[in-house]
C-alpha cells in the first residue's frame, strides 16, 4: 500500500538538487512580480541573483546523479521542467520587469520561451540516439538553455545602472501598432541558437 507522498520518498538525492533549481526559478519570477508591484530594485536584483544559483543546482544534479549512479528517466524529465522555469520563463519575466513590455517584446519573449521548451523536448527525445553505445551525449544540438544566464547578467548590469523602464538600454522604437525595445533582440538570438540543428557544442 502506497504511503502519502510516496513519490517524493522515492526521489534520489540528485532530484532534490533539480527541485532546488526549480525553486530558484520560481523565486525569480515572484521577485519580478514583486518589483512590478512595489518598484523596489532590490527585489529585482534578488530575483536575478537566483538564476546563477539555479545554474549551480542544475550543474550539481547531474554530477550527483553520476556519483550516486542514480540517473533515471524521471530525473531527466524533472531536469528539463526545472530548466524551463529557471532559464526560460524566469529570464523572460525578469526582462519584462526591466521594461521590455512593448507588444513586439511580448512576441520575442514568448518566442524565446517556446524555443527553450522545444530545445529541451528535442534533447529528451534524441539523447539516447546521440549517446550511441555510450552513456553520455557527446555534444549539444543548439545552445543549452542555461546559457540564458548571460541574458540575466546583462539585465542585472542594466538594473544596477538604473537602466530600467523608460531608461532601458538601446531605447525603444515604434513598429506599426506596437513598440519594440532593441535590447529584446538578444532574447530572439538566444532562442534561435537553442533550436539550431547545425550548431553543435561539445558536452563537457
The full set of domain ranges for the chain reads: 6-202
Least confident of 3-12, 15-24, 184-193: 3-12
Q: What is the pLDDT of residues 111-132, one digit of tens each?
A: 999 999 999 988 888 765 655 5
Q: What is the pLDDT of residues 64-74, one digit of tens each?
A: 656 556 666 66
CATH architecture designation of domain 6-202: Up-down Bundle (1.20)
Decide if pLDDT at 7 tops 60: no
The pTM of this model reads 0.87
Contact 105, 179 (CB under 8 A): yes
Q: In the predicted model, what is the mean pLDDT of residues 155-168?
A: 95
Residue tagged 536584483 (cell numbers)? 45
How crowded is the C-beta side of 200, counted as CA atoms within 13 Å? 6
Tell me the DSSP string of 132-173.
TTSSS--EEES--GGGGHHHHHHHHHHHHTT--GGG-TT--E
The C-alpha torsion from 67 through 143 and 23 to 150, rounded to 10°, is 120
Nearest to 32 by CA among 103, 108, 107, 86: 86
Residue-averaged pLDDT of the chain:
87
**Which pLDDT score is estimated for 77?**
81
Residue 86 confidence class, pLDDT cut points 50, 70, 90: very high
Nearest to 104 by CA among 157, 196, 45, 176: 176
3-state SS string for 101-136 = CCHHHHHHHHHHHHHHHHHHHHHHHHHHHHHCCCCC
Contact 113, 89 (CB under 8 A): yes
**Which pLDDT score is estimated for 141?**
81
Amino acid at each position: 500500500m502506497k504511503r502519502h507522498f510516496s513519490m517524493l520518498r522515492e526521489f534520489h538525492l540528485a532530484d532534490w538538487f533539480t527541485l532546488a533549481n526549480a525553486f530558484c526559478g520560481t523565486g525569480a519570477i515572484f521577485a519580478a512580480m514583486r518589483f512590478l508591484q512595489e518598484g523596489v530594485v532590490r527585489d529585482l536584483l534578488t530575483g536575478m541573483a537566483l538564476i546563477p544559483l539555479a545554474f549551480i543546482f542544475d550543474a550539481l544534479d547531474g554530477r550527483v546523479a553520476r556519483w550516486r549512479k542514480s540517473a533515471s528517466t524521471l530525473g531527466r524529465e524533472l531536469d528539463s521542467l526545472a530548466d524551463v522555469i529557471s532559464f526560460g520563463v524566469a529570464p523572460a519575466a525578469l526582462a519584462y520587469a526591466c521594461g521590455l513590455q512593448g507588444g513586439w517584446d511580448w512576441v520575442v519573449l514568448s518566442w524565446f520561451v517556446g524555443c527553450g521548451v522545444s530545445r529541451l523536448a528535442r534533447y529528451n527525445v534524441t539523447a539516447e540516439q546521440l549517446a550511441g553505445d555510450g552513456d553520455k551525449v557527446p555534444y549539444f544540438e543548439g545552445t543549452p538553455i542555461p546559457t540564458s544566464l548571460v541574458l540575466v547578467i546583462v539585465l542585472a548590469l542594466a538594473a544596477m545602472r538604473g537602466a530600467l523602464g523608460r531608461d532601458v538600454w538601446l531605447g525603444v522604437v515604434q513598429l506599426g501598432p506596437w513598440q519594440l525595445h532593441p535590447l529584446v533582440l538578444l532574447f530572439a538570438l538566444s532562442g534561435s541558437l537553442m533550436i539550431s540543428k547545425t550548431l553543435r557544442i561539445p558536452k563537457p
